[in-house]
Structure 1
């Protein structure tokens, strides 16, 4: 982790919205560093895109087009996650909260709303035109931010230039991709996405940027919280619709209860970790950031899956029991395993405690072949939390 030794205003001074400040790197050990009101607005607008992506996935699965829907969802979610993540890490290092910074962030928020508008066409019809243009708008705004940083932060100018130039070149590639035949779309997406992932690795090999471990952990935690909340909202709307029709009330309420137990357990599992303690090196930071693609995508998919299973319970989804169950058990298992992998590095847990999460994930997957997958998943996730609490208590009282 890089440390910035230049003088900075007091943390509270960043909240005043001055007309202009030199974009110098903020200290990585700054006290009382929390998410700003602008960052919270940014997250809420991005969650609108997540919500629309989840809704489009639900529609495709319920219509029997699961594979196409999942592919479109995965591609769309990459664009949402990557744009959000790049802003988050940049803001941790260079949030000046002056007028140019705020206006540039508003441009990125506008791009996120464009993504929300184009989510249904992307997931349902493979039409990424609006998504691509919205993404490019957001990324060009990031180029502007990095150029500001390169102009005023001489200590990290090479890193800032690498970020700006790498992002700019790739945006040309994304626009060129729109002109390619449909058959080349997936290959070109994979190539461009891999290059996007490589830009931070290349840029940070220069001077590196300053990022605040507690600030980063809080930002990721808040976004996870909001996405899980969207899952609850999506499930609530599906249950409300089922209750209005009066069909299969017992089955619907059982699915709803299982979903509530699952979401509560996933929240507990995620926030039981000491994330800032893990974020000590650039390598762990990269793994943390990139690994959250699965965490965020799986959390959002849980909401879509709950809605699908409510529709299945009321015989409004053209899926078999196993197919409906798999839409729910797979994202839950992915969430559990990914959180376990992100936090186990350096945790030095006893073997019995370390295997709890993978065993629970396997048990969740096994419920796919039952007729009560959603409530069983909720019970297993709840038992996982209980087992972790018992293991933690035993460690606390051990001599």
Structure 2
């Protein structure tokens, strides 16, 4: 009888039906994955609630979707039910839940909103605008993060108004910045974006924000397109996409709070070999765009906060999630439109030292990102290939991920 009872859960567990991927990616050794759901409309942000339900924002105009899962462990996960939670065509990326799971936050190009949320019934009510004044052209996502180390803080990332947004050289522009807001205060009365505390600025378009287990805040930056240096086109392999560190937000003595990361004047080198008069430049070092002169020189740029790591140009990192023990960060690379041949379109893993909270590779490394899920051939990209965006850790420890070009949600096996 004891043996039969022990076997009962295995007997009841069912294998989820296979959903063939729109474009099957390749997995590195030790990793696997399967499509949990398809037929979505541009899925972007993704979070789990306290009840184990999955929420995703759909940039294709459907707002926010509520998905109940049958989770048999590993990659054996399938959809039990799905419904539209919020119908709002303006919502396009950002999605976050309060630590108690009772407040849902989402963003449009112009504002951040909050709802009272019930994960058991899959319902929302009492919509409020909590942050306003974020409207601009160019980059339209407003990424949201509530750090575990500072549960009353909502971080909001806002990108630039175009490729080179000259006014962002001033803090007062409010663009190309990550700002922090007290959740208690903005739930009581909406705040203008310009009133938030500046965590970092000079960040062209930091779509991905994540927190490591030590409480450190990290962002991944989509750097400039069409770059030239001393009248030479170097854009195909420069500048790098950046992994930036913003310190521990709960630390009152955080010396990185309010740091300037260089944009729109300074960028980090990826490929020094194509620079005119490259001198001693190495990967990861800041340098000036265009023709360095006057108030903006390479020396000026060396005083800006440099990235902790660099990634290949135009690969477009969109999210970063750390594993629970702090030995790795997973980063989605949405992929390029501004280089030949195309690059990105993959999920990668970066090794970290859990004691220091820093990457194991030096800032000059070009090999820090280990590709674990990728397209075998990027020739069909960006419109007809796997293109990852957001990530979330599931209740049983699996990594879930959206792909907006293929309208899928994946679960990744082997990601620990």
Q: State the TM bucket, normalised to the shorter chain.
A: under 0.3
Tell me which protein shows more strand as a share of its residues. Answer: 2
Task: Name the structure where helix makes up a greater proportion of residues.
Answer: 1
